[in-house]
Structure 1
């Protein structure tokens, strides 16, 4: 299974990524071994995710979400 996810960082910003192991990836972020962006914004918490069978679909969706405004991302999180 592949996942697109959004994290809320300690500064209130949102980070979007994809992975094939959600629990392991969230732990990596919180251990400072995730994305460069999240390393200085710890801790992070999972606020949204979607599941995909196909890696390419997940990556496309990640790109789509990254193009959204913050307001649109917050709306997506609220209506999950």
Structure 2
């Protein structure tokens, strides 16, 4: 089974990013936009700006952790999609 690590960007003037992982990317983004995703994402609309495909859950979790804790990388990803 494939897993996806993704970065979402909010569609607000002062945008924020959210990093997560899932095995069903389209459904997960829909849940975030419907207010049924992670608590942090509720009340905002989101756009997918980055995605990586991983072959195992452990790989996806490790990569998610790395991206979440690497602010320069997150800012670089975010700045590419203004």
TM-score by length of 2: 0.85
Q: Structure 1, unaligned stretches of length 5 or more?
A: none
Hey, what's the Cα distance between the residues in 2 that align with 1:39 and 1:10?
13
Hey, what's the Cα distance between the residues in 2 that align with 1:8 and 1:72?
14
Work out the number of aligned pairs and report it: 76
Kindly indicate whether residue 24 of structure 2 is the aligned counterpart of residue 21 of structure 1.
yes
Post-superposition shift, 1:73? 1.1
Kindly indicate whether residue 47 of structure 2 is the aligned counterpart of residue 8 of structure 1.
no
Post-superposition shift, 1:76? 3.6
Post-superposition shift, 1:9? 1.3
Alignment of 1:37-76 (within 5 A): 37-40=40-43, 42-69=44-71, 71-76=72-77
Cα RMSD for the two superposed structures: 1.3
Post-superposition shift, 1:61? 0.3
